[in-house]
């Protein structure tokens, strides 16, 4: 979440925990978006200072909700002292835990602040139970698993490490590349020249948090189509359109000029949904939370996503069959996102889904 005004609506929608990041103007000016202290490189995805954070925490605690603050980047040595200073001030605001991935930062917190709950970010790359157990030994109380594990693999990892809680992704922004292995610069299009990025930067400076109307809308085919065109030409590399040549092992061209994209469209990434997968996820004893991505999204989208997940979990209480549950989830999904339900939007897709 990105503003104190969201706490109430998200609580009413069923959220029990919130997560947020900080991008203070002083720090942003010093390091630019390129060295954001968390994995969101835009202002509208973050709180602007410690006082807004304090208000969020107060409002959440009044409602019995927990707040986790994310410092989930991997920091260069040149930035580490600044991160520690920011983090110490953050802890004074009273969050319930921190989301982290940087080994020295985890060690620092475990040593200096053993009382702080540490959630390992998906940037920590815990693809297996051994890595999860390592993080547990370093003080982590929860591990966020990569988007790129299958449901069976999630069960294997989470069953193998009792005592560690696990968090899995369930809604929105299904990245093509695991965060721990992706080295594409995500802020680059903010600083490159060119009409689109310049226009985006001007809009961002004028609209501030209200930029979410563009970057965080949902179920709006017009905005999504415009965004798809924008990112296909000048956005993040995972969303761009490519021309591809197929090569043989000797480097010879087998076929040239092929159109290529990692996703079919931006929407496959943006509007991803794991509602049906909750049938399996909810049955996993050590999976303690499901993550709804999109800090920069419109409040209405976050409320819708949270509400859908809440309704799905409520339905599971009545022990439906898998078929009944999936049927209900498709109805629910189409109520909120009528244009975006299908195999290509599935967070936990399975082989053969696209052939049905």
Partner 1 sequence: MIDLDRKLFIENIGELPGGDSGFTGVYAGSAFCQEALPSRGAFEQLVKEAASRGLSFTFVTPYLTDTYFDHAFALAELLATISKGAEVTANDLGFLVRVAGEIPDLVPVAGRALAGQRTDPQIPAILEAAFSSGGQADMAGAFGHVSVNKPGFADFMLERGVRRLEIQNTKQAVSIGSSDFSYSMHSPYVFVSSTRFCPPVESYVRPGRVAGVYPCSRHCVNRYHRIKPRGSEQEFLYRGNTIYYENPVVEPPEGVDRLVVHRLPS
Site for partner 1 in 43-72 (CB under 8 A): none
Window contacting partner 1 (CB under 8 A); options: 10-18, 51-59, 154-162, 200-208 = 154-162
Tell the smallest beta-carbon distance from residue 232 to partner 1 (Å).
Answer: 7
Window contacting partner 1 (CB under 8 A); options: 17-25, 164-172, 174-182, 320-328 = 174-182
What the block records as the tokens of 33 is 């978006």
Question: Considering the rule CB under 8 A, would residue 129 count as an interface residue with partner 1?
Answer: yes
Closer of 39 and 212 to partner 1 (Cβ): 39
Give the binding-site size for partner 1 (rule: CB under 8 A). Answer: 84
Question: Considering the rule CB under 8 A, would residue 92 count as an interface residue with partner 1?
Answer: no
**C-beta of residue 170 within 8 angstroms of C-beta of residue 287:** no
Sign for the pseudo-dihedral over CA of 14, 165, 298, 224: negative
Report the alpha-carbon angle 94-98-99, nearest 5: 155
Q: What are the CA-CA distances from residue 205 to residues 22, 192, 199, 298 (Å)?
A: 17, 16, 10, 18
Closer of 207 and 237 to partner 1 (Cβ): 237
- Residue keyed to tokens 């761009």: 240
Tell the smallest beta-carbon distance from residue 259 to partner 1 (Å).
Answer: 6
Closer of 141 and 188 to partner 1 (Cβ): 188
Q: What are the CA-CA distances from residue 355 to residues 58, 108, 342, 350, 352 (Å)?
A: 49, 49, 12, 11, 5
What the block records as the tokens of 256 is 């040239």
What the block records as the tokens of 156 is 């294997």
Question: Considering the rule CB under 8 A, would residue 328 count as an interface residue with partner 1?
Answer: no
Residues in 211-240 that interact with partner 1 by CB under 8 A = 232-234, 237-238, 240
**C-beta of residue 227 within 8 angstroms of C-beta of residue 266:** yes
Alpha helices by DSSP H, 262-298: 266-270, 278-281
Tell the smallest beta-carbon distance from residue 168 to partner 1 (Å).
Answer: 14
Q: What are the CA-CA distances from residue 59 to residues 20, 29, 335 (Å)?
A: 14, 29, 30
Tell the smallest beta-carbon distance from residue 338 to partner 1 (Å).
Answer: 19
Half-sphere exposure of residue 354: CA atoms within 13 angstroms, side-chain side: 6
**C-beta of residue 50 within 8 angstroms of C-beta of residue 85:** no
Question: Considering the rule CB under 8 A, would residue 153 count as an interface residue with partner 1?
Answer: yes
Residues in 187-216 that interact with partner 1 by CB under 8 A = 187-188, 191-193
Tell the smallest beta-carbon distance from residue 235 to partner 1 (Å).
Answer: 10
SS3 66: strand
Please select the residue that binds partner 1; options are 50, 127, 213, 336, rule is CB under 8 A: 127
Window contacting partner 1 (CB under 8 A); options: 43-51, 104-112, 283-291, 293-301 = 104-112
Question: Considering the rule CB under 8 A, would residue 319 count as an interface residue with partner 1?
Answer: no
Closer of 139 and 307 to partner 1 (Cβ): 139
Question: Considering the rule CB under 8 A, would residue 131 count as an interface residue with partner 1?
Answer: yes
Window contacting partner 1 (CB under 8 A); options: 11-19, 44-52, 98-106, 288-296 = 98-106
């Amino acid at each position: 979440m990105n503003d104190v005004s969201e706490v109430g609506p998200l609580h009413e929608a069923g959220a029990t925990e919130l997560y947020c990041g900080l991008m203070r103007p002083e720090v942003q000016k010093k390091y630019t978006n390129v060295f954001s202290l968390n994995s969101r490189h835009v202002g509208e995805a973050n709180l602007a200072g410690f006082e807004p954070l304090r208000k969020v925490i107060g409002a959440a605690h009044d409602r019995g909700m927990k707040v986790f603050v994310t410092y989930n980047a991997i920091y260069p040595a040149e930035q580490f002292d600044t991160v520690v200073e920011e983090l110490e001030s953050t802890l004074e605001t009273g969050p319930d835990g921190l989301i982290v991935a940087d080994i020295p930062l985890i060690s620092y917190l475990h040593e200096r602040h053993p009382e702080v709950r540490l959630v390992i970010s998906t940037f920590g790359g815990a693809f297996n139970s051994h890595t999860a157990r390592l993080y547990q030994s370093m003080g982590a109380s929860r591990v966020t698993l990569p988007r790129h594990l299958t449901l069976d693999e999630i069960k294997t990892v989470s069953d193998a490490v009792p005592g560690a809680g696990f968090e899995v992704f369930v809604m929105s922004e299904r990245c093509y590349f695991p965060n721990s292995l992706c080295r594409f610069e995500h802020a680059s299009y903010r600083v490159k020249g060119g009409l689109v990025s310049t226009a985006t930067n001007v809009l961002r400076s004028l609209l501030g948090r209200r930029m979410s109307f563009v970057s965080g809308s949902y179920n709006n085919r017009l905005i999504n189509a415009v965004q798809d065109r924008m990112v296909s030409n000048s956005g993040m590399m995972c969303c761009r359109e490519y021309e591809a040549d197929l090569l043989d092992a000797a480097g010879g061209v087998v076929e040239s000029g092929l159109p290529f994209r990692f996703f079919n469209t931006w929407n496959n990434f943006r509007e991803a949904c794991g509602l049906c997968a909750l049938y399996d996820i909810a049955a996993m004893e050590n999976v303690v939370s499901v993550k709804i991505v999109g800090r920069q999204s419109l409040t209405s989208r976050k409320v819708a996503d949270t509400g859908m997940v809440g309704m799905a979990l409520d339905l599971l209480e009545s022990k439906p069959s898998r078929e009944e549950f999936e049927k209900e989830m498709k109805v629910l999904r189409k109520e909120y996102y009528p244009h975006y339900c299908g195999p290509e939007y599935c967070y936990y897709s399975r082989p053969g889904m696209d052939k049905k």
